[in-house]
Chains A and B, each alone.
Chain A
Amino acid sequence: MKTRGIVILLCLFLFSSCIVKSIQPFYIKEAIKYNPILKGDWTDHKKGKWKIVSFKEEWEKETDPNTKLSKEDRNAYERYKNAYYIQYTKKESEAAFIAMPFIVNEHFFIDLTPFEYDSNDLNKLVAQHLLKTHSTAHVEINDDDTIKLKWLSEKAVGSLIKNKKLRLKHESTGIDEDLVLTATSEELHAFLKKFMSSDFEDKWDNDDIYSLTRSNAKP
C-alpha cells in the first residue's frame, strides 16, 4: 500500500506538472461514447504500463449479480458504466484512474480522474490537501494499432488566457500558481470543440503526449 500511495503522489505530480486540471469533468452526458478499441494492455514510450478495461465489464466481473446494490453503488455504476478502468504502472508502482470516453467534433477524448484515492500510507495532512481533479486527453488512434494520448496542456490554455483570447472560469492556486479550471462541464466541452477546430501553434506540448503500443504487439 505504501508503494501505491507513492505512485499516486508521483502520478499526481507527473500529470499535474503541465496538464490542465479541472474541478468539473470535461465531458457532457450527450457526448459520452464508449469505444472498445482502447481496451487492452499498452506500453507507453516512457516505459509505463497501461491496463485498460471496461468499467462495466470489471464491475460485472467483481459483483455478484444477486447482490443488492446500494443507492450510491447504483449511481456510481450508472455514471461510469461507459468508462474505462485504467491501471497505470511505472517502475512497479501502480495507480488507478477512471477514464470517461467522449466525442468532441468527431475527435475521441478521455476524461481522467484518480480512482480510489488511498491516503493511508500518506502523510495525513498532505493527503487532506490533495484533490481529485479531472484532466482530459485527445486520443489519436493510428492505423498501426498504436494510440497517442495528448493531454490538454497548461501551456496552451494558459497562453490563451494570458493573451485575453479565452474567457473560461479558472483559478491559479498554490505557490506555483497552478491553473485549475472551475468552469462548468458545458463550458469545458464547448472550449474543447473550439480548441479542436482552431489552428494555432503549440497546441499540444510534447511533454504531455504519450505514445502507447499494445504490450503483446509483435515488433
Chain B
Amino acid sequence: MQNLNFKVLMKHNNYHRPLIFNSVLWLLSFVILLFIFSKGKTPITADYIYTTSFIIVIAIPVSINFYILIPKLLKREKYVSYLFLFLVVLFTASTLKRTFFKDILDNIFPNYFFVSYLSNFNIYLTYTIFLLATTLFKLAEDWFYFNTHQNKLLKLKNQHIQTQLASLRSQINPHFLFNSLNVIYAMALEKKDTITSAILELSDVLRYVIYDSDTERVKLKDELNLIKNYIAFQKYRGHSENSVSLKINIENENYQIYPMLLLPLLENSYKYGFSGSNTSEEILIELKQSGSKFNFRIHNLKLNPNQNLDSKYSGVGLENLKSNLSLVYPKSHSFKIHETKTSFTVTIALNNE
C-alpha cells in the first residue's frame, strides 16, 4: 500500500465525459440562441434553421478553443499566447461568418429569409460573448472534475493512512502476544501455581490491546492501566514490580491519546534493560500531562550488549511507533532517542491542540 501510485489510480478513474459535456453545452446554447434569434416570440422554421446553422458554424472556433488552445496554452499557463491566439481565432471566425454565412445559408435555403438576425457588429459581439461564455463553461467543467478528483484523492489518501495504521497495529499485537505466550509457556514448563493469575492478567492486557484500543483515541487512564497491567504481568517473567520506577503526574486522566503508543517502548526496555531475572536494575518511566501537552520518558540501562536496537523485533516496534506518531500527530509531536554505551532513553512529547 505504501507504494500506491495515486496518479495511476486516478488515471483509471477519469470522470471526464465529453459526450455529456458537449450535449449539455450545445443543447443549452441552442435553446438560448433560439430564444435570442426568435426575439422572445414563438420560434418559426427560419429561426430553427438559422440557429442550427449558427451552432454548427460557431462549433468550429469553440472546438479549437476547447481542444487546442485551452489544453496546449491556457492550462500550461501560457496566458499571453493563449489570449493572442484566442483573439485571432475569434476575429477570423467572426469575419468568415460575416462574409460567407448568409450567402451559404441563402443558397442552401433559397425560400427562407434570414434577414432579422445578426448584423455586422453584432456578429463580432455575439462571437466574443459566446466564446468567452463557453470558455468559462469549459473551465467550470474542468474545475468540477478537478474538485471531484481532489476529493477522491483525499479519500484514497485517508483510506491509505487508515490501512497503514491498521497494518502497524496488526504488527504490534502479535509481537506482544508472542512475547507473552513465551512467558506463559515458561511458567507452564515450571508448573508454577501463579500461571492462572498470569493468564488472567494477560487476558486483561489483551482485551485492551485487541478490543479497547481499536479506536482513534483512548483515555490516558486506560493507557496507564495497560502499562500497569503489563508491569504486573512481567513479574511472572521474574521481574519484580519494584524494578520499575513509575512517576505519574497527570492533570486530566481523560486526556485523549492515540492507543498503544507507549507499550512498545516498555517492551523494549524490558527486553534490553535487564540482564536476567531477579535483578535490581531499574526502568525509569515518567508520565506528565498538563493542559494539551503530554510528555513521556522512559530510561533503561543497556545490560545486554549483544543485542542492539536494530534487531528484528525491537526495530519493528520503534519504527512502528515513529510511523504512528507521524501519521496521528503530524507536526505536533517530538520523538527523541538518547543512546549512550550504557543507557537508552526515549522521550515523547505530544500536543493535542
Binding site for B on A (CB under 8 A): 160, 163-169, 183, 186-187, 190-191, 193-195, 197-200
A194 to B117: give the CA distance in the assembly, Å.
Answer: 14
B interface list, Cβ under 8 A from A? 37-39, 44-47, 50, 106, 110-117, 119
Q: Closest CB of chain A to B119's CB: distance in Å? A: 6
Partner of B113, one of A167, A169, A186, A199: A167
Please tell me if the beta carbons of A169 and B46 are within 8 angstroms of each other in the complex: no
Q: For A183, give its contact among B46, B50, B114, B116 (CB under 8 Å).
A: B116
Q: A200 to B109, alpha carbons, bound, how many Å? A: 13
Candidate in B37, B112, B117 with the most chain A CB atoms within 10 angstroms: B112
> Of the candidates A186, A187, A191, A198, which one forms a contact with B111 in the assembled complex, judged by CB atoms under 8 Å apart?
A198
> Please, which residues of chain A bring their CB within 8 A of the CB of B46?
164-167
Bound together, the chains give a CA A92 to CA B47 distance in angstroms of: 49
Pairwise interchain contact A164-B116, C-beta atoms closer than 8 A: no
Of listed A160, A165, A191, residue having the most chain B CB within 10 A: A165
Question: What's the Cα separation between A166 and B37 when bound, in Å?
Answer: 12
With A194-B106, A197-B106 already in contact, the answer to whether A165 and B112 are too (CB < 8 A) is yes
Given A187-B115, A190-B116, 11 more A-B residue pairs with CB atoms under 8 Å apart are: A165-B46, A166-B44, A167-B39, A167-B44, A167-B115, A169-B39, A169-B116, A187-B116, A191-B113, A193-B115, A198-B111
Contact A194–B39 (Cβ < 8 Å) = no
The number of A-B residue pairs with CB atoms under 8 Å apart is 54
Which of A166, A167, A168, A194 has the most C-beta atoms of chain B within 10 angstroms of its own C-beta? Answer: A167
Contact yes or no, B110 A198, CB < 8 A: yes
B44 touches A164 (CB 8 A): yes
A168 touches B110 (CB 8 A): no
Report if A168-B115 is in contact (Cβ < 8 Å); known contacts: A197-B106, A198-B110: yes
Contact of B38 among A167, A168, A183, A198 (CB under 8 A): A167
- Nearest residue (CB) in B for A164 is B44
Return B108 CB to nearest CB of chain A, in Å: 13
Q: B115 contacts which of A166, A199, A200 (Cβ < 8 Å)?
A: A166
Please give the distance in Å from A37's CB to the nearest CB on chain B: 29
B113: chain A residues within 8 A (beta carbon): 160, 165-168, 191, 194-195, 198
Q: How far is the CA of A168 from the CA of B252 in the complex (A)?
A: 84
